[in-house]
């Protein structure tokens, strides 16, 4: 028998049973994947939108970056988030630290222990990341779960009148605050969404891999639909957000040490629960370079 015919993959994809999310069994992200395994993982990513790789143990940050690079080029970590110091940023330019840990009075990463509200990452940029990998190094005894919502389903199940209304609309995505509500350095506090600063994207986008349409909302705060009277923009966005975050579109990740979650930022939103600030949570994240939103 030809050798290729013997190459049986040992990967198993176990769906969460919810609107999105699946476990990838049989992959330790520290090891090299065969072409066949990588094909399977990519297909599972397109199908389930969020993949969980559990039981990786301790992952060197270079390995996390190498694994993430299997899905595309990596963005450099945002400068504002690099509180780990120059050496860390120089050694790991593609790693963002998400943490509430404070060393010598300086937070080592972003978002603290606050709740992070529903959002997709960095959609206030012209080319937001296509996805992210998030790796759990330290987790609190409770809280800090990360929830993901399926934006294909949200679009497909929109009431017909709402779907028709938003089909060709665009939205301004606010750059001024992060998902924990903190004002970013150099930005003015926006009180009127008509003055929001950030990228403008279609409200409904087409996923470049699957060709499917999905809602692309970014974040609610300071969002604005250009060309609409403010009250109408607010009412439409409220209706869209109430629909998009319905519990039936959501799956929640309860972290275990060594978990790596890979999510597609184009067709999902996520949010994070707050947790006790006296406990520690330390995560490392990569972001995979995205494309223009169409
Ligand atoms: C994020 O919003 O990118 C961070 C999610 C998390 O800390 O679980």
> Using one digit for the tens of pLDDT, what is the confidence trace for 48-66?
999 999 999 999 999 999 9
Tokens 């995505």, residue located: 173
- Predicted pLDDT at 185: 86
The protein residue whose alpha carbon is closest to atom 8 in ligand 1 is: 146
- Predicted pLDDT at 8: 57
264 pairs with which residues across the strands?
131
- For a pocket test of ligand 1, which of 116, 253, 254, 287 has the largest count of ligand atoms closer than 8 A to its C-beta? 116
Taking alpha carbons only, the member of 96, 116, 119, 138 closest to residue 285 is 96
Span 6-141+252-288: which CATH code? 3.60.130.10
**Which residue positions in the chain have pLDDT lower than 70?**
1-8, 79-86
Q: Distance, CA 272 to ligand 1 centroid (Å)?
A: 6
Residues with CB under 6 A from ligand 1: 98, 111, 116, 121, 146, 179, 270, 272, 283
Extents of the domains making up the chain: 6-141+252-288, 151-244
- Predicted pLDDT at 2: 43
Q: Distance, CA 181 to ligand 1 centroid (Å)?
A: 13
HEC profile of 49-80: CEEEECCCCCCCHHHHHHHHHCCCCECCCCHH
Q: Distance, CA 50 to ligand 1 centroid (Å)?
A: 13
Residue 133 to residue 121: CA distance in whole angstroms:
12
- Predicted pLDDT at 153: 98
Q: Distance, CA 253 to ligand 1 centroid (Å)?
A: 11
Distance of CA 293 to the CA centre of its chain: 16
pTM, to two decimals: 0.94
- Predicted pLDDT at 86: 63
């Amino acid at each position: 028998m030809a050798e290729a015919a013997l190459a049986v993959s040992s990967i198993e994809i176990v769906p969460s049973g919810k609107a999105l999310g699946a476990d990838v069994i049989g992959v330790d992200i520290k090891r090299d994947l065969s072409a066949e395994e990588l094909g399977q993982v990519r297909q599972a990513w397109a199908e389930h939108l969020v993949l969980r790789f559990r039981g990786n143990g301790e992952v060197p940050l270079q390995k996390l970056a190498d694994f993430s690079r299997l899905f595309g080029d990596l963005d450099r970590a945002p400068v504002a988030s690099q509180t780990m110091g120059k050496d860390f940023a120089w050694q790991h330019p593609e790693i963002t630290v998400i943490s509430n840990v404070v060393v010598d009075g300086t937070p080592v990463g972003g978002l603290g222990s606050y709740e992070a509200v529903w959002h997709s990452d960095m959609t206030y940029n012209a080319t937001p990341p296509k996805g992210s990998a998030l790796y759990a190094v330290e987790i609190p005894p409770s809280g800090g779960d990360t929830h993901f919502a399926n934006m294909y389903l949200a679009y497909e199940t929109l009431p017909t009148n709402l779907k028709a209304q938003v089909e060709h609309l665009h939205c301004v995505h606010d750059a001024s605050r992060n998902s924990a509500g903190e004002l970013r350095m150099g930005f003015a506090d926006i009180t009127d969404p008509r003055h929001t600063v950030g990228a403008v994207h279609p409200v409904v986008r087409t996923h470049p891999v699957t060709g499917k349409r999905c809602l692309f909302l970014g974040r609610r705060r300071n969002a604005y639909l250009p060309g609409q009277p403010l009250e109408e923009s607010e009412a439409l966005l409220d209706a869209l957000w109430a629909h998009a975050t319905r519990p039936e579109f959501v799956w929640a990740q309860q972290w275990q040490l060594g978990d790596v979650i890979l999510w597609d930022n184009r067709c999902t939103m996520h949010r994070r629960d707050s947790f006790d600030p006296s406990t520690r949570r330390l995560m490392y994240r990569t972001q995979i370079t995205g494309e223009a939103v169409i």
